Amino acid sequence: MKIEGKRSIWKEYQKEIADNRFFYVRSCVRQNFFPGSEKTFLRIMKDELNKDVYENAAHTTCSGIGYHSDVVPFETAMTMVARQFALMTEAGYENFTTSCITSFGLYSEILETWHHFPEVEDRVREHLLKATGRTFTKPANLSHASDVIFKFRNEIAASGKYRLVNKATGNPLQVVEHIGCHYSKMFPSKGVGGAEYPYVLVGMIEDWGGEVIDYPERRHCCGFGFRQYLVQANRGYSLACSKKKFDSMAPYKPDFILTNCPGCPMFLDRWQYALSEMEGITYGENGLGIPVLTYEELAGMILGYDPWDLGLQVHQVPVEPLLDKIGIPYSSQRKFLTMDGKMMGQPKAPSHLKFYQHE
């Protein structure tokens, strides 16, 4: 095929991502489990890229986890989302970017629903006005925060201190990328690369010096499944999905897993621990796991931010082996210190999975 033909086809998989002036909404899962990632996103956007990113303290959950576990009706979720749009409108912004993939999928679903059923949008506008007195304009541009980091990946690489290269061998690191299902499986045109060739994380990995592993279960769900994790009796579903992925990727000896959804890194991290306790399985070498990173953490590592400022100490699968491979310095003594430098105690070591404690 001629290169012009390839470019023409590839155009279908592109998405427009705003350049500046973002209205930022947070993720429930991210804030609970990887808060350092959202901190890092804003630090990169403001300090490195000089972008205008605004957060309104009045924004709330979009209710997406409640919606997809079916306790929150669609009508309610739509009106919760409409309120977020109203806060954006009132603040004078039109580029909406969200930290959460469940939210991103829900925003996409709702905008698509309103496009096909304008009467539903009218009804939601009435609900919102009646409940809150607010009105809104729909976003001119909707992005997930990983889209934004993808857009500026070359700028991050240019001012970066490190690349995804094994310091000892000089070889590119081998990386598994995992895309959250609701990023583009429902609405392929809303994601970079669509559902067939998601490129949002691949672009970061390749342009930051690593190589992507293509393995059989690459597109399988991490297993969140909403109610399948939220209720203890159902968690076998969630664990089984993650295990299927680990078993499939392990022969390729990944140096780490990169994710763009808030939930996926938590499950891929915690289920490695659970499998080690249940069956003695560890997926890395010598009792180590496969480190799981958020794209914000990885961008921060490339830029040379302190690993403990990124929040890598709250990973159950230790990230130190990856830091060692790249040659990123860290202080073991400072891993579990408070902001004021006081020792907080430290987590217990798991039975099988190796863990790096305070020395």
Partner 1 sequence: MGKLYDKLAEDVRFIEGLKACLNCGTCTAICPAAEFYNYQPRQIVDILQTRDDDQIEALLKSETIWYCGECMSCVTRCPRGNAPGLLITVLRSVSQELGYFVESEKGRQQLAIKRTVGEWILKYGYCLYPSEILPDMHPEQGPVWEWEHENMDAVMHRLGANYKKTGPGILRKIPQEDLDEVQRIFDETGGTERFRQIEDFSRIKAGEMGISLEDGLASDYFRHIYTTNNNDHSKDA
* Shortest distance (Å) from residue 304 CB to partner 1: 17
Of the two residues 83 and 151, which places its CB atom closer to partner 1 in the complex? 83
Gap between the Cα atoms of 72 and 70, Å rounded: 5
Nearest Cα neighbor of 23 from 83, 106, 76, 75 is 83
Of the two residues 215 and 237, which places its CB atom closer to partner 1 in the complex? 237
Torsion of CA 123, 128, 130, 132, to 10 degrees: 180
- With a CB cutoff of 8 Å and minimum separation 6, the contacts of 192 are 13, 14, 15, 17, 147, 150, 198, 199, 200, 203
Q: Please give the backbone phi and psi of residue 141, each rounded to the nearest 5 degrees, phi first.
A: -140, 130
Give residue 92's region: left, alpha or beta (phi > 0; psi -120 to 50).
left
Of the two residues 208 and 283, which places its CB atom closer to partner 1 in the complex? 283
Gap between the Cα atoms of 259 and 352, Å rounded: 25
Of the two residues 36 and 265, which places its CB atom closer to partner 1 in the complex? 36
Q: Does residue 95 contact residue 147 with C-beta atoms inside 8 Å? A: no
* Shortest distance (Å) from residue 107 CB to partner 1: 14
* Shortest distance (Å) from residue 171 CB to partner 1: 31
* Shortest distance (Å) from residue 165 CB to partner 1: 28
Of the two residues 49 and 186, which places its CB atom closer to partner 1 in the complex? 186
Nearest Cα neighbor of 320 from 352, 353, 288, 275 is 288
Gap between the Cα atoms of 118 and 328, Å rounded: 52
Q: Does residue 48 contact residue 303 with C-beta atoms inside 8 Å? A: yes
* Shortest distance (Å) from residue 195 CB to partner 1: 5
Beta bridge pairs of residue 24: 97
Q: Give the count of alpha carbons within 13 A of 90, CB side only.
A: 14
* Shortest distance (Å) from residue 215 CB to partner 1: 16
Q: Does residue 201 contact residue 258 with C-beta atoms inside 8 Å? A: yes
* Shortest distance (Å) from residue 317 CB to partner 1: 9
* Shortest distance (Å) from residue 39 CB to partner 1: 3
